[in-house]
Every structure is written in structure tokens, then in C-alpha cells.
Amino acid sequence: MPIEMPRGLPFSVDTWTPSSMRKRHHFLTHSHKDHCSGIARHASYPIYSTHLTKSLILIYYPQLDESMFVGIEVGQSVTIDDPDGAFSVTAFDANHCPGAVMFLFEGSFGNILHTGDCRLTPECLQKLPEKYLSRKGKEPECRLTYLFLDCTFGKITFRIPSKHSAIQQVVNCIWRHPDAPVVYLSCDLLGQEEILVSVSQTFGSTIYVDKVNNPEFYRVLTLTASEILSQDPSSRFQLFNGFPKLYERAQKKLAEARAKLQHEPLILRPSAQWYACEATELMATERQRIERPNKVVKDKFGIWHVCYSMHSSKHELEWALELLSPKWVVSTTPSCQAMELDYVKQHCFGAKVAFHDPFWKLLDISVEASSTPEEAELSELCSELPLLKIPTSDMDFSNVSPPTNEPPFTLFGRARLGFDFCNLYVEKKIAAVTDEPVRVVTWEDDKEVESNKLEGGVAEVQPNILMERKGVCKSVSDFMTRSSKGYNDSLRKLYGSMNVPVPQPLPSLVELMKANKRAKMQFES
């Protein structure tokens, strides 16, 4: 399921919800149903897509009006006027399925590449503008600010064969079974028609597709590969639905052939999902063979599997990230996080964000400029919450209101899961107070209490953004390792109200502090 785009952007991509309806522009990368779920209820003009994607969507959702779509083809750039400033968008081939594209957005929010679903190959990436590609170990001339990346198979460690190699495996498997009276091809998903076309051309035969039992895919094939269609049920090559109950139907076909003392039919399932999702359920011998995806594997149900993928493997994702060198990477697939990729671990964790960085515009956050250059250099991104001002003199920490009624927004959290599916949790905040002891503030979700109006100085605090400031706090570790007697009355009351004991310093830290003190005394003496 695709993710909602951050609220600072004026457009949505592949999401059709009440939240995305509030965006002023909408983009559809391709017509797979997980990317157009809800479009019938929450579509609004304009929807930018390729002509083929629009035609396929109108097959799935005939109630939609064709006038809602605006065409954009591979290689075409469009400049869009928007109240927040004009931006341009360019479509590039996603190497996924017919009509699928990636969108490159360029505007005041930065440079954003949204891949949709994709299979990133060298040929695919070389079609992007050269200024975004690194050369011979050098950084690209212009770095992508954000890369919204399809990480569907980001956890797969083995190398997935190319589409061409997988199709050749299908053809070779058919050649090795000349006695099979019927060849059932489980290729009923948009993007797998390449296999059907190759089989049809290699063996000089059309493929039977039952338009009564599978009318939708039959209509899809009339748009994408009409030359291979046959209505002759005696054809040797026949389309076989992958869902539902693939294994039960396959066993039934094999049992019927055995009962009639005939040669068994050949049932082929070209898909990487079986390799990715079902490897844990395989027998030991099958599990060993699955580590070599360049070989056809027969499972215990009699189905031959070929590792045909329309998504990038982890190896391909890592290679693409090294070539593109984006500043930020966001996974568009909730089941697989971008944080699992080596590039993200090495280049995106702990990255510093300046106050003028367009990152804040992406999140629709107004950040107050730091009073000193040192603060801007040392601030590291941990979350994206607005700046909060907290009174410092005689502050009552048992009576603190949350900074905002809206839930926090994190690049790898809420942006990845969507706006409506993220629950808040308790967070501890450190209030940095000039010339006063460091104080720990606890905010709870759904707990709303009014803070006392107190006189005194005001300290600027950015929750979850750690700032090292001279003269602000001498050492947080010193504070946290103090004896419980060092806590002020406000903190004691706070812990008492929650019926929890006042925290004690760790024994190991106490011993370490004592050892340091003894060493210092010996040195001075």
C-alpha cells in the first residue's frame, strides 16, 4: 500500500483518501490495484498519468470520468502552477508494467524522485538527467533531496535474475517438457504479459484466455498484447489464474491427468513472491535450491516456479542509491523500511539539517532561525516537531501541556505508514535552560493540562532535536547520575503522582564516578 505524501507538498502520489483529496494535484504512477485503491471514492481533478494507465484505470473503474485525467508520457516534462510556487514534473520509465512511470518533481521543496513501483536497472537509471547521477566516485552535480523508493524486496539477499533471464527460464522449462499436453501459465497480473508474448512468439501459438471467467484481464490484454489472444480452449498454452487457491486448482489438474492415465500438464508460476514469502515453509532441499533463483524450482504441489520480478532486489536498490546519492530516502512500502538498506544507514542516519534546508518545507514546519551559527551546525535531526517556548522560572513540571494537538511527523515513521495510522507514544523531552539546572519534562499523548503562567526567562526548545550549547547544560550525564536527593520538589511530586520510585543512579555509574574521584584525589596529592 503506497504512503501519503508529507503535508508540506501540494501533491499526492498513488493515494486516494480523504487526506490526499485535500492536495491540489494528484499523480498515478501505474494501474496496479494497490496503487489505485479508493480512487473511485476519493479521486479529484487533476490526475496526472500516462495514457495507457488512464485506459487501464477506466477498465477497472468505469464510473470514473475520463476528463479527470491529464496525460503525461515518458520523457515529457510539465510545469504546474501552484499557490505555493510553480514546480515541474517529468515522467520516466519505471520498468515495472505497461504504463508505469517514475515522477521527478523539481520545485522550492527540493528535488524529489518518486519511483512508484519499479525495477531499477542500469538502462532505467541512465535515462534520468545526468546532473542527478554520480560519475566515477564523484558526487552528482545536483543531489536528489528526497527519494521515495519502492523497497518491496529490500529484504531479499539473493540476486534476482533479470526479466529477460527469467523469461528465458520459462521458455527453457517448456522445451524440457515436450510431452506436456497443456501448459498452464499463471501470468494474470499486469506486467507479466511480456512472458505470454515471448512464449507465443517462441512456440508460434496463441494463448487461450477465458474471457468469461477472466473478463477484466482479457480486456487488459486487448490493450497490451492483443495479438496473442485465443478463444480456442483446446490451445496447448492457457492462462491460469494465480489467485485464489492456486495450489488446490493445480493439484486438481494433475489428479485429473493421472486418473485418465495421461501426461501431466505443465504448470508454471513466474513470480518472485513465492521466493520472498514462502521460503520459510519449504523443505530443506527446496530451500537450498531457492538460493539459486536462476534455476526453475518445482514445489511439492507440482507447480514450477520461476523468479520473475517487477521489483528491485536489495542489491539493485543499493546500487541505485550509490548512483543517485540522495540526501533522504523514504520507503513507499510499509512492510520494508528504507532503514534496512546499507546506504541509508551510512548516509542518512544522524544527518544534519540546517534551518534553511527545504526539509522543513516538506514537513510544513516553520523553524525559528538559531541565534548563533553554532546551534545550526550542531543540531541533528531526530524528529520533526515545531519549535516550542517553555517558561523556565519556577516551572511546574507536573503541569505541562503538549506542544500541539497534531501527532508528530517523522520521515521514516508517519510518512511511511500514512497520516491516519500512526499512534502517539510517551516521549521524554529535555528542556535546555540557560544558567539553570537541566529539567526533564514528560509529555503524554491525550493528557491535556494547563501549564501555570509563570514569570521568568523563556528558553527555546526543539523537542527531539539535540542541541549542544555552551553554557546551557554542563553535562546531561552528570544530572542523570546524581543521587535521588538532588532532584527538586517538582520532580519528586511528579514521580509520586505516577506511583513510581524516584530513579536511582546505576550502580556501575556510581562505581565509575567513585573511581574517577579517587584517581583525581591521588593525582592532586
Q: How far is CA 155 from CA 220, 325, 330, in A?
A: 31, 20, 15
Burial class (CB in 10 A: 0-12, 13-18, 19+), 239: buried
Domains of the chain: 11-157+312-347 (3.60.15.10), 163-306 (3.40.50.12650), 359-480 (no CATH)
pTM (global) more than 0.85: no
Q: Half-sphere exposure (CA, 13 Å, Cβ side) for 37?
A: 7
Q: Smallest Cα–Cα separation from 303: which of 262, 268, 256, 254?
A: 268
Q: Say what the pLDDT of residue 387 is.
A: 37
Do residues 101 and 30 touch, judged by C-beta distance below 8 A?
Answer: yes
Query: Strands 146-149 and 328-331, how do they pair?
Result: parallel
Residuewise pLDDT in 10s, the chain (525 residues)? 689 999 899 999 999 999 999 999 999 999 999 999 999 999 999 999 999 999 999 999 999 999 999 999 999 999 999 999 999 999 999 999 999 999 999 999 999 999 999 999 999 999 999 999 998 878 899 999 999 999 999 888 888 999 999 999 999 999 999 999 999 999 999 999 999 999 999 999 999 999 999 999 999 999 999 999 999 999 999 999 988 899 999 999 999 999 999 999 999 999 998 887 654 455 555 555 555 678 899 999 999 999 999 999 999 999 999 999 999 999 998 777 788 899 998 887 666 666 556 656 565 555 554 444 443 433 344 333 333 333 333 434 333 344 444 444 333 333 333 334 334 333 333 334 344 443 443 434 443 443 443 334 433 334 343 344 444 344 434 444 444 555 667 767 776 666 666 666 666 566 667 776 776 666 565
Return the amino acid letter for 332. T
Residue with cell 487501464: 56
Cα–Cα dist 16/28, whole Å: 10
Q: Say what the pLDDT of residue 390 is.
A: 34
Do residues 258 and 251 touch, judged by C-beta distance below 8 A?
Answer: no
Q: Say what the pLDDT of residue 41 is.
A: 96
Cα–Cα dist 319/148, whole Å: 16
